[in-house]
Amino acid sequence: MTAESDTTAEPEATAEPEATAEPEAGTEPSPEPSPEPPPENPEFEGPRRRARRERELRRQAQARARAIEQARREAKRRALGKTADNTKPQARAAVRGLKVMVWTVLLAVLFVGLGLLLYFTPIMSVRSVVITGLGAVTEEEVTQAAAVKDGTPLLQVRTDAVAERVATIRRVASARVQREYPSTLRITIVERVPVVVKDYPDGAHLFDRDGVDFATAPPPPNLPYLETDNPGPSDPPTKAALEVMTALRPEVAAQVARVSAPSVAAVTLTLVDGREVVWGTTDRTEEKAQKLAALLTQPGHVYDVSSPDLPTVK
C-alpha cells in the first residue's frame, strides 16, 4: 500500500520545475501579472480627497454668492434708472463737462477784463486819422465833421455815427470809417461827381446823378446845362433828364450842351454843334441810347428816337 503511493507522488514533484525553468528559444519571457489592488470601497474617503471636495464646494458657494450680489446690484441700478455699463462713461462725461464749464468761465472773464481795459484806458486810443478819397473836399473839412478827439479809445469811437457826420458834407456822396489797431482811425470818402449844371443868381450849381445840388462853383468844361423848373432829387423831370444823361455813351454825352425836361415825357437834348435830339419819355432808355449813337453818324439836324422802333433823322 505504501509503495504505490510513493511512485505516484514522485512524477508530480519533478514536472513543475521543467515547465518553468527553460523558456523556448527566440521568445521573451512574459512578465508576471501585477497583483490586482483590492477593490475600492465607495463609502471610503481619504483625507486628501475630502479636502479637495471641500475646497470645490467652497469655490462654488463663493461663486454663487458673487453672482447673487452682482444680480442684486444690477437690479438696484436698474431700479434707479442706471446700468452698470454707463456708470463710468457718465462719470467721465460729467468731469469733462465740468472742465469745459470752468474753462469757459475763465475765458469769459479774461475777455471781459481785456475789453474793459481797452474800452476805458488809452492803451489803444486814436493818435492819428487817415483820410482817403479826397478831391475837392479838404482834409480839414473831413476832420472837423468827424469830430473825433485825439486820445479817445478806439472802442469808444462809434464808426457809424462818425460816417454819418462826414456824409453831411455837401460834396461827399458816402463815407466809411474803420478802426485800425493799435491807434489809427481810417476815413474813406467818395465825392459826388457833377453830371449837369444850372445857373442861379448866386452862381452855377452843380448836380450829381441823383439830382443833389452839392456845390456852387464854376462848372467843369463841357458839362451840360439843365433846364427844369424845380431841379432836385425828388423832382420827376429832373430825375428823367439825369436818367437820360447817365444812359448815354461817353462819346455821345460829351457832345451834349443842354438837356431840357419841361416834363417827364418831353426830354430833349441840344448838342454843342446845334443839333437836337428828341428823346421823349424815359421808356426803353438803353435802347434809345444805342440807336442815337448810330444815328449821329448820319447828317441831319433833328434826331428823333422817341420811338426806338422807327428812329428818324431830319
Q: Using DSSP, state whether 149 is helix, strand or coil.
A: coil
Cell (9 digits) for 78: 436698474
Instruction: Please determine, for residue 219, whether its predicted confidence score (pLDDT) is greater than 90.
Output: yes
Q: Which residues pair with 280 in a beta bridge?
A: 267
Instruction: Please determine, for residue 79, whether its predicted confidence score (pLDDT) is greater than 90.
Output: no
In tens, the pLDDT along 275-308 reads: 999 999 999 999 999 999 999 999 999 999 999 9
**Domain ranges, ordered by start, for the chain:** 76-120, 123-191, 196-313
pLDDT above 90 covers what percent of the chain? 59
Lowest average pLDDT, out of 62-71, 212-221, 267-276, goes to: 62-71
- The yes/no answer on whether domain 123-191 falls in CATH 3.10.20.310 is yes
Instruction: Please determine, for residue 11, whether its predicted confidence score (pLDDT) is greater than 50.
Output: no
pLDDT attached to residue 5? 38
- Comparing 265 with 14, which gets the higher pLDDT? 265
The model's confidence at residue 52, banded by pLDDT at 50, 70 and 90, is confident
DSSP β-ladder status, 172-180 and 184-191: antiparallel
Please state the rounded mean pLDDT for residues 176-198.
Answer: 95
Residue 268 · residue 277 · CB < 8 Å: yes
* Cα 210 from Cα 232, distance rounded (Å): 8
* Cα 66 from Cα 116, distance rounded (Å): 62
pTM above 0.75, yes or no: no
Please state the rounded mean pLDDT for residues 65-90.
Answer: 74
Please state the rounded mean pLDDT for residues 62-87.
Answer: 77
In tens, the pLDDT along 102-128 reads: 888 888 877 776 666 566 667 788 999
Q: What backbone phi and psi angles, to 5 degrees, belong to 33? A: -60, 135
pLDDT attached to residue 43? 55
Work out the mean pLDDT of the chain and round it to a whole number. 84
pLDDT above 70 covers what percent of the chain? 80
Which residue from 280, 218, 226, 229 is spatially nearest to 257, judged by alpha carbons?
226
- The yes/no answer on whether domain 196-313 falls in CATH 3.40.50.11690 is yes
CB atoms within 10 A of CB 72: 10
Helix (H), strand (E) at residue 190: strand 184-191
